[in-house]
Structure 1
Amino acid sequence: MKILLTGITGQIGWELQRTLMTVGEVIPVRRNEMDLTQPNSISGTIQQVKPDLIVNPAAYTAVDKAESEPELAMAINGIAPGIMAESAKKVGAALIHYSTDYVFDGANTTPYTESDKPNPQNIYGKTKLVGEQAIASSGVPHLILRTSWVYGLRGKNFLLTMQKLAQEREEIKVVADQIGAPTWSRVIAETTAQILSQARHHVSDFLVSKGGLYHLTASGQTSWYTFAQAIFAHDVQHSERKLQNLIAITSKEYPTAAKRPAYSLLISQKLSNTFGLFLPDWQKTLELVLSE
């Protein structure tokens, strides 16, 4: 299986570059080789490589900055996936794409399923939803994996931000009224590889029958505040910390350019039922990450 992989410097892409080697020949493309803001660059690269599968974790993920750069966010998150889907069809390839819990408004009190109606409240979520819809309407064999609160030991994420702030400040205030499931980038990559290992060599046929939209997040739930508590409880770098007080605050006390959903918990039951894969609890994976 020849796999064209985007976003290789990102959290998920970096992990995918390693895990996908177990299921096929990975052809990684950097931003200067396939520019997601340039339709001709996307279609030209896909036509040249002629992959069996395109895996696209690349995204504009600066949630607050997207509010002031909606055109750029839409080009990368909304338009580019549609072009990838159409280009994939032309060369007979399938497409795997990653989306977000931020396509929902947070009004639910029970975990969101794939059949719940999206209602994004910020530009980032709106552009990601457009990308989902473009892929689904293209008719290309595809898999859209919605995940949430992605973190790891690379890139920009909540875990690394908390570790950095703990070395710089004696007091950190963290929002306690937003609920979700922190999901390790490596778990996302490994789950993707496990799904593909079931396809063997006929990935397009496999995704025609079993593809579509799936939620892929860690089990359990938490707030950003309790996530931070868990990070500091399991983090062994105590000697480097200045942190004395971790303070819970409300979203209103921490205004941001982009509105976040108060509740964005996704349930991965459909993924488990279809592929027989069960994602571990977020606390167990956090312990693994911090033990590395």
Structure 2
Amino acid sequence: MSILVFGKTGQLALELDLQGEVTCLGRDQADLSAPAACAALISQMRPRAVINAAAYTAVDKAEEDEALACVVNGETPGALARACAALDIPFVHVSTDYVFDGSGETPWRESDPVAPLNAYGRSKLLGEEAVRAAGGRYAILRTSWVVSAHGNNFVKTMLRLGAERDRLTIVADQIGAPTPARDIARICLEVARQLAEDAGKAGTYHYAGAPETSWAGFAREIFTRSGLAGADLNCDVADIPTTAYPTPAPRPLNSRLDCALLETVFGIARPDWRRGLDAILQDLEAAT
């Protein structure tokens, strides 16, 4: 059987489906709020690898719905990992920079202390801990600022607002790196392939785009590359601090990720998110 992907309509799952050789399970087939049922699907279908591309991603809503977030992002990944370990097949689980507290300016390494600021981060940390406890051929891939031509994300929001307004105020003191979902999909498959050959590569890794930027800097690049910063459609970006844009769930200021370990172990380098952005813009243009 092909590689089994939990998730069907999210950014990463859609990109994985485009890569081929995968079977994607939507909510109608795999209810992530039912860990045992999801794990049973792995035992029944016997895939050659499993990628968990689904999650509870409503960061602000999780503040009032933490119990469900902890099941979907915590208990279910653990159940999937245990099922994979029992079959000795690779399990790739996608996590987040939100497991860190966002302090300082140094890129986070895999071994750095975790201290999530919000409910979403706590739920994702529970998932990481459960996957590690399961053992086997697993890889936890922490990433950041996922974008694509699918669903709701920062690129599509900026394109919509930039076409409607001549000035936007964007947070400039949160620093990290956009990561195209297409690149994440490709490396999930590559990591799964290498784990099948070498269980010794199991562990936690970071994967994010390069170079680092702020949300405001990312917005400017979106407008420049899409043509919205031209003479006919001029959208100015004004920097604001995080304190000027309060949200129910606090965001980390430092989302920089040190990705050297993934390159050392798997030979996978960080992608240039600007090239990925160009591809996203081309996809969106082709879809209009």
Determine if the TM-score, normalized by the shorter chain, exceeds 0.5. yes
Give 1:166 deviation, angstroms: 1.6
Counterpart of 1:38 in structure 2 is 34
Deviations 1:129-161 (A, max 9, x none): 110000001122201110000001101111111
1:187 aligns with 2:178: no
Alignment of 1:64 onto 2:60: yes
**Residue 285 to residue 43, structure 1, CA distance change in 2 (3 Å):** closer
Aligned to 2:220: 229
Instruction: Tell me how far 1:244 sits from its aligned partner.
Output: 3.8
Structure 1 contact 221–282 (Cα < 8 Å) conserved: no
State the Cα distance separating 1:231 from its structure 2 match: 0.3
The answer to whether the 8 Å contact 1:36/1:42 transfers is yes
Quote the Cα distance in structure 1 between the aligned partners of 2:68 and 2:233.
Answer: 38
Superposed counterparts of 1:1-292, under 5 Å: 2-19=2-19, 21=20, 25-198=21-194, 203=196, 206=198, 208-236=199-227, 244-292=235-283
Q: TM-score, normalised by structure 1?
A: 0.91
- Contact conserved, 2:136 with 2:202, CA < 8 A, in 1? no
TM-score (norm 2): 0.92
Q: Answer whether contact 1:77 1:131 (CA < 8 A) is retained.
A: yes
CA shift, 1:18, in A, is 2.4
Q: Deviations over 1:181-239 (max 9, x none)?
A: 0000001111223334445xxx1x52x21121010111210000010000000003679
Q: Alpha-carbon deviations, 1:77-96, whole Å to 9, x = none?
A: 11110111122233333211
% identical equivalent positions:
41
Given residue 105 of structure 1, which amino acid in structure 2 is its aligned partner?
D
Query: Structure 2: how far apart are the matches of 1:195 and 1:284?
Result: 22
Give distance in 2, aligned partners of 1:84 and 1:287: 35
Structure 1 residues 153 and 104: CA distance shift in structure 2, 3 A: same
CA distance in 2 between counterparts of 1:139 and 1:88 reads 9
Note if contact 2:175-2:214 (Cα within 8 Å) is conserved in structure 1. Answer: yes
Contiguous gaps of at least 5 residues in structure 2? 284-288
Residues 236 and 291 of structure 1: is their aligned pair in 2 closer, same or farther, counting only changes over 3 Å?
A: farther
4+ runs of 1 displaced by more than 4 Å?
none
**C-alpha contact 1:216 1:271 (8 A) present in aligned 2:** yes
Q: One-letter code of the match for 2:102?
A: G
Amino acid at match of 2:76: A
- Residue 170 of structure 1, CA deviation: 3.3
Query: What RMSD, in angstroms, separates the aligned Cα atoms of the two structures?
Result: 1.9
Q: 1:54 to 1:193 in 2, by over 3 A?
A: closer
- Unaligned residue ranges in structure 1 (runs of 5+): none
Match of 2:252, SS state, is coil
